[in-house]
Amino acid sequence: MQTDLLQEARRQAEICNACRYCEGYCSVFPALHAERFFSDGDLTQLANLCHNCRGCYYACQYTAPHEFGLNLPKVLAEVRHDSWETHAWPTSVARAFQKSGVMIALATVLGFAVMFLAIHMFKPAGGDGFYAVLSHSVMIAIFLPAFLFPLVSIAISLTRYWHTTGGTKVTLAQISVAFESAAKMKNLAGGHGDGCNFEDEDRFSQARRLAHQAVMYGFLLCFASTSVGTLMHYFLDMPAPYPFWSLPKLLGISGGILMVIGTVKLAMLKLQADKNLGAPSVWGGEMGFIVLLFVVSLSGLLLYVLGGTVLLPALLAIHLGSVLGFFLLTPYTKMAHGFYRLAALVRDEQRRPAG
């Protein structure tokens, strides 16, 4: 990781540790105040606990033009992104995506869409719905490796992160508390439950928290839809296409709507927010991830609505291309931050005294 960046983060953490005004704001400050000296691993852990709500910045008396010039949200955001790049596997791909995320995301979707359209030229003789465009066996052959790769990559990344932060053996209780915190987006609620200051200085809002929840639960519903469809296909001998009132479609449609709403709101918030309170150099990577999720969800919904028209082949190619791009880029997009957040929350539970 960058030595100068860690040194600046250490300087700011030491000043915050002496001040302690923001102690009740989020999980970062109790963890920060539990230390007297900050190793590189400590700073990496603090950075991944931070949700960049920015409340501490607007409350701080030591921001510029004060000589201390504190900007803790910015420096922790930079350490956080640097930690993702450093621990990612392969690292070079992560660095490229953070610099040019929107371009890479769009190029990946278009490239894979063209590939699926080309494959469609050799479409199967039979099949209903999507399978009339692309056979089930071809979909499995393409998507199974694309699904397994990010799992392996993220597992390697989190192992590296756990080693850096000094993590120890994990208990079910620690995992349970971490998942509860993530499910409620506790650290985006603010110290008093009023929300965060991401949008406009001292105006507290729950908008960012709700947008994140819409994306997270929308994604989980879509994943559940795919899982149920897989079980129905292989174990109940009920292959797709499924009617509207079937469980796979109800889960998928509701999840897709939530993801469209959440991604649009997140994009609006990022455009309105002060870039200087985050990591400006990776803004493209963050926006690229939002665009990618938006295309995945919107193209999926359009398939439900227009799947019976002549637009089916083109829409299916775009949707499958975006899904394939999403899977392959997951270890390098902000999707990975969910896994790091959980790891950081588990590690934070290990810091707390038992009982």
Write the secondary structure of the chain as one string of H (helix), E (strand) and C (coil).
CCHHHHHHHHHHHHHHHHHCCCCCCCCHHHHHHCCCCCCHHHHHHHHHHCCCCCHHHHHCCCCCCCCCCCCHHHHHHHHHHHHHHHHCCCHHHHHHHHHCHHHHHHHHHHHHHHHHHHHHCCCCCCCCHHHHCCCHHHHHHHHHHHHHHHHHHHHHHHHHHHHHCCCCCCCHHHHHHHHHHHHHCHHHCCCCCCCEEEEECCEEECHHHHHHHHHHHHHHHHHHHHHHHHHHHHHCCCCCCCCCCCHHHHHHHHHHHHHHHHHHHHHHHHHHCCHHHCCHHHHHHHHHHHHHHHHHHHHHHHHHHHCCCCCHHHHHHHHHHHHHHHHHHCCCCCCHHHHHHHHHHHHHHHHCCCC
Residue at a domain's end among 29, 55, 84: 84
Range of the domain at 307: 89-351
Same domain, 162 and 122: yes
- The sign of the CA dihedral 41, 76, 282, 215 is positive
Same domain, 58 and 121: no
Kindly state the average pLDDT of the residues 72-100: 83
Q: What is the pLDDT of residue 319?
A: 85
Kindly state the average pLDDT of the residues 8-29: 90
Q: What is the pLDDT of residue 22?
A: 85
Q: What is the pLDDT of residue 99?
A: 62
Assign 296 a pLDDT band (cuts: 50, 70, 90).
very high
Same domain, 19 and 133: no
Residue 171: pLDDT over 60 = yes
Same domain, 186 and 269: yes
Residue at a domain's end among 65, 84, 103: 84
Same domain, 177 and 273: yes
The pTM score is: 0.86
Whether the upstream peptide bond of residue 65 has omega within 30° of 0, thus cis, is yes
The region of weakest confidence among 88-92, 126-130, 228-232, 234-238 is 126-130
Q: What is the pLDDT of residue 95?
A: 66
Assign 102 a pLDDT band (cuts: 50, 70, 90).
low
Same domain, 77 and 106: no
Residue at a domain's end among 51, 84, 117: 84
Q: What is the pLDDT of residue 132?
A: 57
Between residues 120 and 25, the one the model is more confident about: 25
Q: What is the pLDDT of residue 59?
A: 87
The tokens 């994943």 sit on which residue? 223
Residue 238: pLDDT over 60 = yes
Same domain, 220 and 157: yes
Q: What is the pLDDT of residue 134?
A: 61
Same domain, 44 and 193: no
Kindly state the average pLDDT of the residues 80-109: 74
Kindly state the average pLDDT of the residues 291-298: 92
Contact 238, 180 (CB under 8 A): no
Same domain, 73 and 94: no
pLDDT in tens, 207-221: 999 999 999 999 999
Same domain, 148 and 288: yes
Residue 199: pLDDT over 90 = no
Q: What is the pLDDT of residue 16?
A: 94
What is the C-alpha separation between 204 and 200, in angstroms, rounded? 8
Q: Taking all residues of the chain, what is their mean pLDDT, rounded to a whole number?
A: 85
Same domain, 96 and 80: no
Whether the upstream peptide bond of residue 90 has omega within 30° of 0, thus cis, is yes
Q: What is the pLDDT of residue 169?
A: 93
We report the CATH number of the domain holding residue 275 as 1.20.950
Q: What is the pLDDT of residue 159?
A: 95
Domain count within the chain: 2
Query: What's the Rg (C-alpha) of the chain?
Result: 22
Q: What is the pLDDT of residue 307?
A: 80
54: tokens are: 């920015």
Whether the upstream peptide bond of residue 241 has omega within 30° of 0, thus cis, is yes
Kindly state the average pLDDT of the residues 52-71: 92
Q: What is the pLDDT of residue 142?
A: 72
Same domain, 140 and 257: yes
Q: What is the pLDDT of residue 298?
A: 96
Assign 203 a pLDDT band (cuts: 50, 70, 90).
confident
